[in-house]
Amino acid sequence: MNTVDAHGPRLVNIASNPLPEGARVGYFKTSDNVQLRYAFWPKGEGKHRGTICLVQGRTEFIEKYFETIADFRRRGFAVATFDWRGQGGSDRLIGNPGLGHVDRFEDYWTDMRSFHGQILLPECPPPYYLVGHSMGGLASLYTGIKDRMMFDRIFLSAPMLAVPTKPFGLVGTARLTEVMSFFGLGHLPMGRKADRPASAASFPDNPLTGDLMRYLRSVDVLAAAPELGIGTPTVRWVAAAMAAMAEAGSDGFAERIRVPVLMLGGARDGVVSTAAIEQLGLRLRTGRHQVIAGARHELFMETDAIRGQVFAAFDAFITEQSQ
């Protein structure tokens, strides 16, 4: 297992992506002994409103969310976040640190449960709200099923409920990659166009955001700290993720979610299926969905106009808690 920063935890601070003041950064160990990097910020000015637990999508890292963390703090929230196993500043799980890997999707629940018990409960002020993007959004839904008392509300940006899987579909792809893993091929790369590294040249056709400045900001962070990045997922990661998405699309999944949920989808999202978000949103007993016109996949990294809609939805959803 390769540790990204053997000299202690740090956050990358560059001119185009300044570090919000007041950060505390550290490591914690999960219940299965994986070392994860985390960071915490106290609330900004104004009335205290609790703590946002912010969880990222695949390939992402804490630094990518500095602007969004500042937005939450200005609203009176403390923010606690961590890098999932296998990415960012957390332990890599296989010999090639550039591949995204996890053995089981259940392992993300282990990360969440460990963070909640070791960092969130003892160190962060309640109430607790879970905010998840993409892969982190799917992991957040499973959190809402496994322990409905952990978070008061769950707010999701473009949750990864389905992705393009021609010609086999989610279930068929999950079975195929499971068989490949059984025969020892689980650590091989299995990529797609959306997993290509971002660069200035790739912006015009990128599926993530229509905002050039925010797109290049992530490029700048990885140029300064390339060890934070990962690229193509492994066959084993694909097997785990496809099985989890297939379950999320099955009958009865929505009824198992007992925490209030708001899911946002992008009308122009080419990474995950907005239709799947709409379908699950219509079945939720304790939640709903909203589609943001013109938005691509990374709603928190989009243009000011789109981000304004995202935070307006967040503000209204969280305000319901106190009514």
Q: What is the pLDDT along the chain (323 residues), one digit of tens a residue?
A: 444 444 679 999 999 999 999 999 999 999 999 999 999 999 987 788 999 999 999 999 999 999 999 999 999 999 999 999 999 999 999 999 999 999 999 999 999 999 999 999 999 999 999 999 999 999 999 999 999 999 999 999 999 999 998 888 999 999 999 999 999 999 999 976 556 678 888 999 899 999 999 999 999 999 999 999 999 999 999 999 999 999 999 999 999 999 999 999 999 999 999 999 999 999 999 999 999 999 999 999 999 999 999 999 999 999 776 54
Asked if residue 3 belongs to a domain, the reply is no
3-state class (DSSP) for residue 61? coil
* Phi, psi angle pair for 200, to nearest 5°: -60, -35
Asked if residue 2 belongs to a domain, the reply is no
For residue 321, the model assigns a pLDDT of 65
Asked if residue 134 belongs to a domain, the reply is yes
For residue 194, the model assigns a pLDDT of 56
CATH number of the domain where residue 72 is located = 3.40.50.1820
189 beta partners? 234
Q: Count H helices, E strands: the chain? A: 9, 8
Asked if residue 123 belongs to a domain, the reply is yes
Which H helix or E strand runs over 290? Answer: strand 287-292
Asked if residue 12 belongs to a domain, the reply is no
3-state class (DSSP) for residue 239? helix
Asked if residue 9 belongs to a domain, the reply is no
- Taking the CA atoms of residue 29, residue 34, residue 36 and residue 42 in that order, the dihedral angle to the nearest 10 degrees is -30
Residue type, 263: M
Asked if residue 11 belongs to a domain, the reply is no
For residue 183, the model assigns a pLDDT of 97
CB-based contact 296:265 (threshold 8 Å): no
Asked if residue 13 belongs to a domain, the reply is no
Q: In whole angstroms, what is the distance from residue 129 CA to residue 252 CA?
A: 24
For residue 2, the model assigns a pLDDT of 47
CB-based contact 188:298 (threshold 8 Å): no
Please list, residue by residue across 244-265, b when 16 or more beta carbons sit within 10 angstroms of its beta carbon and e when fewer do.
Answer: bbbbbbeeebbeebebbbbbbb
Range of the domain at 186: 24-322
- In total, how many domains does the chain have? 1
Q: In whole angstroms, what is the distance from residue 243 CA to residue 29 CA?
A: 26
